[in-house]
Amino acid sequence: MTVKVEEYFGCKAGVVWVVLSKQGPQNIAQLKRTTKLSDSELYAALGWLARENKIEILGDRPLFFRFKITG
């Protein structure tokens, strides 16, 4: 069975979206802990959400970025 790329990464993005919507802004370490996604899955999910303009980055130091839902 083949999974479509959009379905796979869309699902991972959904996991991140739910966490951010319920728990508020989080940094990478917090998102890894709460989502249980691998590094590559998490970064792909964040990229997906960023491309769709659904998240914002808070802060100006990359290691301390926090992500939140746009709006």
Domain segments of the chain as ranges: 5-69
User: Nearest-CA neighbor of 43 among 54, 57, 60, 28?
Assistant: 28
Q: Residue 4 — very low, low, confident or very high, per pLDDT cuts 50/70/90?
A: very high
Q: Which helix (H) or strand (E) holds 20?
A: helix 5-23
Q: Which helix (H) or strand (E) holds 26?
A: strand 26-27
Please give the pLDDT value at position 67. Answer: 83
Q: What is the pLDDT of residues 12-49, one digit of tens each?
A: 999 999 999 999 999 999 999 999 999 999 999 999 99
For the cut 70, the answer to whether the pLDDT of residue 64 exceeds it is no
DSSP states of 39-63 as a string? HHHHHHHHHHHHHTT-EEEESS-GG
Q: Which fold has domain 5-69?
A: Arc Repressor Mutant, subunit A (1.10.10)
Is the distance from CB of 20 to CB of 28 less than 8 angstroms?
no
